[in-house]
Structure 1
């Protein structure tokens, strides 16, 4: 077992650290929390563009897409150095990490230059149109239709939970183009500019923060989308779907590990019960880091372990939720203090925002839903890791 990195990885890390030391935005700017929304402040656009121009935005990609052909382990230390400073490479994370990446993977060279590069350079922003009122975890049940009409598709339907749609310039939208095909085989993907006639975006607040208008309902009424905006092949959208959700999945666990270690820094036990809970948090955080390192090493060798990644996602999201629940119980009434106050027990979120323990606890539910619910992860583990029957 090797617990250190090779020289090439450490040299890569050293170069990135030198870049960060020389170019980090002002600390006052960085405390603003990035949401999926595309309303990016000017300084953040400049920061993202600087990262792109120097190959530090998505280092695993080639230089023309803001990278430097980095290995997986080099990408990992890149993420580590960002998380240690509590800074972000983009205020449009879905646009950069999922949508631009999907266009690079499945789009034509013209689409890559027209859409992916401007997203990566923070010139335009993008949101992801996947979930629908009756198609959340079971995405293949989506009903939003796109019918070919000459050199356009006519789109009708609804999306929901579309983070940042009200500010986005374009939506990567999953639509049904063959209603008679098996549900996984009749899906296509369109890039839909949000200024087209027939699109209505309705932002709504989350339970965590009534002022946080990040989620959206999006309605499509006879929206005419140029056929050239089709990403990938017609009716082959499920392959794009799995690719979109697969981008950066090898390091999805890292965000949960960061949040759990943030809890360790903020949760100060005062009773025996608190100390037991704290010890559980320490063990879970350590286990997540170790299991994540094993999965990362396996991926670096070219092995794919979907079930193992599901274990990490399940452990990270649910252990963080349990720990936040313990912390909220330990703080009592003080844990309900609104994050804008300066009363005791107001913790600092990983993103630099002050948040009450209640606020932090409520936000953990998103982690058990987004990217595949805990139920979906358990099904994957049961079928692919434990070889249990489907029924």
Structure 2
């Protein structure tokens, strides 16, 4: 098999490459690093707006939302070129990939204009309020309540693991609006500005580093949210939730493929066992790329295969984790040390050139949790790919 693209896709790629060559921020311009996944330094805001204005932010979107109505294959080569340079089109990934995308799918025209467009233009940043202390992977178990009171909802409850919440301007928040409905029903979605009275955000460190403040606890105490901030229909939030995660997963396998390739380039096998592990990981990387390409071709033909995304997510996230684990084991105690690298600092290199193998290993667990845990993916594969009974 030879994987190639038609002339129109390669012309699209060449145009984007020319844009990058002419407009990428220099190291001097881009000195400030983001401090969380919802903190976008001013230089990065300018970079994101430039992409938006030229249709390169999310090419699959219409022009008024930062794109150029690109095909799925054109969107693929766009991400491929970004990955080659290890650069980001936004430092608020959940804002673009989940929240703005969900608003464009389920929001009103006013929400698209007042919230989605501003997120895409980096005028504001957003965080995703899904997980709770008792409802992590099981979103349907959430308890945060919202009661309609006139033209406002009154919200009470708590979220946790809310990445970037302390720097975000708005939270896409999943709440229970009908406590008597079955578990997967009675859920609604609200846009909650973080400066609303009663919203408290508490960032906390991760296992990776004490200064890695991205996770948050978020508390809602009698928070009044305009009813106009309801996204989608009342009590139909599960539909928004599955759509939100669908946006996150569509080309997620490509990011795992790129991360796996980065790990393989940095890992140097020494012993026979190291070489055996390395060969397995190379095969995993090739399998992921080929399976992803097949899924991409199906989507380009207009065929829907949601279950295949679970296969790709499961394979990609666990292959990255296995690669990091083997590299850490091979490095021994040296895996706890920061690598001695001559690679130049750039603001794009947030992980690889500044992290020990231990840090890269523990960070890999995010990939097997975010966007649906490996256990959830295995259930989907069992039922929808293998046809096994739910029991």
TM-score normalized with structure 2 length: 0.95
Which residue of 2 is the match for residue 150 of structure 1?
150
User: Counterparts of 1:81 and 1:109 in 2: how far apart (Å)?
Assistant: 32
Shift in CA distance, 34/278, structure 1 to aligned 2, threshold 3 Å = farther
The question of 1:205 aligning with 2:196 is answered no
The answer to whether the 8 A contact 1:87-1:351 is kept is: no
Q: Is the 8 A contact 1:335 1:356 kept in 2?
A: yes
Q: CA deviation at 1:299?
A: 1.1
- Equivalence for 2:384: 384
How far apart, CA to CA, are the structure 2 residues paired with 1:148 and 1:115? 22
Matches within 5 A, 1:14-53: 14-27=14-27, 37-53=37-53
How far apart are the structure 1 equivalents of 2:35 and 2:251? 19
**Superposed CA offset, 1:38-67 (max 9, x none):** 221111000000000000001001000000
Question: Match for residue 62 of structure 2?
Answer: 62
Matches within 5 A, 1:106-145: 106-145=106-145
Q: What secondary structure does 2:165 align onto?
A: coil
Q: How does 1:291-302 map to 2 (within 5 A)?
A: 291-302=291-302
Shift of 1:272: 1.2
Q: Deviations over 1:275-305 (max 9, x none)?
A: 1111111111111111110111111111122
Alignment partners' CA distance in 2, 1:387 and 1:30: 50
In 1, the alpha carbon distance for the partners of 2:17 and 2:35 equals 25
What residue ranges of structure 1 are gaps of 5+ in the alignment? Answer: none
Please say if residues 35 and 213 of structure 2, whose CA atoms lie closer than 8 Å, have aligned partners that are also in contact: no
Structure 2 distance, partners of 1:308, 1:282, is 21
CA shift, 1:168, in A, is 0.6
Q: How does 1:302-317 map to 2 (within 5 A)?
A: 302-317=302-317
Once the two structures are superposed, residues 143-173 of structure 1 have per-residue CA deviations (whole angstroms, 9 ceiling, x without a partner) of 1000000110000000000000001110000
Q: Does 1:161 align with 2:165?
A: no
Partner of 2:13: 13
For 1:244-268, what per-residue CA distance to the aligned partner results, in whole angstroms no more than 9, with x for missing partners? 1111522110111001100111011
Give the alignment's Cα RMSD to 1 decimal. 2.0
Contiguous gaps of at least 5 residues in structure 2: none
In structure 2, relative to structure 1, the CA distance for the partners of 1:138 and 1:201 (3 Å cut) is same
| 1:186-201 matched pairs, under 5 angstroms | 186-201=186-201
Aligned match of 1:252: 252
Q: Distance in 1 between matches of 2:312 and 2:367?
A: 12
- Following superposition, the deviation at residue 319 of structure 1 comes to 1.2
Tell me whether 1:75 sits opposite 2:78 in the alignment.
Answer: no
Give CA-to-partner distance per residue, 1:179-199, whole Å, 9 cap, x none: 111121201110000111111
Shift of residue 375 of structure 1?
Answer: 0.5
Output one character per residue of 1:81-104: Cα deviation in whole Å (capped at 9) or x when no partner: 000000000011111111111111
SS of structure 1 residue aligned to 2:333: helix
Instruction: Find the aligned partners of 1:278 and 1:297 in 2 and give their Cα distance.
Output: 29
Greater shift in the superposed pair: 350-359 or 63-72: 350-359
SS at match of 1:192: strand
- Rounded to whole Å, the distance in 1 between the matches of 2:18 and 2:12 is 10
Q: Is it true that 1:273 corresponds to 2:273 in the alignment?
A: yes
**Offset of residue 271 of structure 1:** 1.5
Change (3 A) 1:2 1:329: closer
Q: How many residues align?
A: 388
Confirm or deny: 8 A CA contact 1:156 1:221 kept in the other structure. yes
TM-score, normalised to structure 1, is 0.95
* Matching residue of 1:221: 221
Look up the SS of the partner of 1:204 in the other structure: strand
